[in-house]
Chains A and B, each alone.
Chain A
């Protein structure tokens, strides 16, 4: 498995601002994934982040809104830009280890 930490654990932000979420893993991993879980819903993949290349975004998610960095094999950031109340959600970082995915504790974002 992998030990994953995320910062911040929660935040309350104003409409129009941006928030950067950090994800740190205790071991080197090739793929890191960012998911969103809206209240009462299941998980939706935002993008896949591979070190050294641009992130691959799922349908409905764009780089201008959710820019991602992956500077090394243990770290990634997701920025939620120009936030609106519809962005209120839990954002989860995950990694794949031997074909199994493990999740960080999540970042609970509330946009006012």
Chain B
């Protein structure tokens, strides 16, 4: 069975620091990868997608992909208390583009 693994945390960082979230996946054929943010009591919100090896930056967020090592990470620079949420890594599994989600990493940014 295809797996998506994340450290469930919790991960706590001080305000202004860099938060680093990691994800590994088992299917070497995976071509696209997604990071979702989920605030407590809310539904997941897509924040980053990455398809190629290397880094992809969007504001304070950087996604990093290494297909050879089968890991994808999300860096959050200048972390803010409003970044406190659970971050979910997702990888499409089937031909219908249905997603397999990791367990999620709960991030707390302390003022």
Contacts and interface: CB of A to CB of B under 8 A. Distances in A.
Interface of A: 1, 31, 33, 41-45, 48, 50, 56, 92, 96, 99-106
Contact of B96 (A1, A48, A106): A48
A104 B42 CA distance: 9
A101 B43 contact: no
Interface of B: 32, 34, 42-46, 49, 88, 90, 92, 94, 96-104
A31 B93 CA distance: 14
Contacts of A48: 94, 96, 98
12 contacts: A31-B98, A33-B98, A33-B99, A41-B103, A43-B99, A48-B94, A48-B98, A96-B96, A99-B92, A100-B49, A101-B34, A105-B43
Given A100-B49, A101-B34, A43 B44 contact: yes
Contacts of A45: 98-100
A99 B32 contact: yes
B43 A31 contact: no
Contacts of B96: 31, 48, 50, 56, 96
Contact of A96 (B44, B45, B97, B100): B97
